[in-house]
Structure formats: C-alpha cells, structure tokens
Amino acid sequence: MEISVSDFLKVYNPNVIDIRMPQKFNDNHIPGAVNINASMLLNNPEKYLNPSLTYYIYCQKGTSSRTLAQVLKVKGYNVYNIIGGYEAWILEL
C-alpha cells in the first residue's frame, strides 16, 4: 500500500520509519520518524512492528521502501510506503 505525502500529512501517524542509512537520517528526516535499517525490518519485523498498528515507511526516493512495504504487507503488517520518500516530503513542505 502506498500513500502520498499530502495524504500522509493529513493522518500524520506517529509510527513513521526511515529506512535510510543513519548518516542520511541524522542529516534530516521527517519529524518523529525513527531510523530502522531495512534489512533489520525485513529479517526481524516482529522485533520492531506490532501487527495491530499502522506504520508509514520511507527511504530517499520511495523505491526501497515500496519494496519493503510490499514484503511486510505479505507478512501480515499494516505498512504504507510514502510515495517519493524523503525527497517528496521536502518538495511538499
């Protein structure tokens, strides 16, 4: 599932996950986001995600997070990819 930045701004759920490298995250990120490596989410989603909650994930351009969201959805998690990633977030503001 995917959500545009403008629609995300309307719901602005606190469960936002940035899957970029820590240095990118530390440079700037969506306020309230937590930084969790994509491979950690992929290999151990139960450690980071609650199946009863909704999560919004993003990367730099939205490509990696789209793929990860699809896999996590198949595993039973309610995850939305933020279309266009952090770059789309910056353009929307």
Active site residue 8: no
Which residue reads 């997070």 in tokens?
65
Coil, strand or helix at 41: helix
Are 89 and 62 spatial neighbours (Cβ–Cβ below 8 Å)?
no
Annotated catalytic residue, options 59, 68, 69, 82: 59
Residues marked active site are found at 59
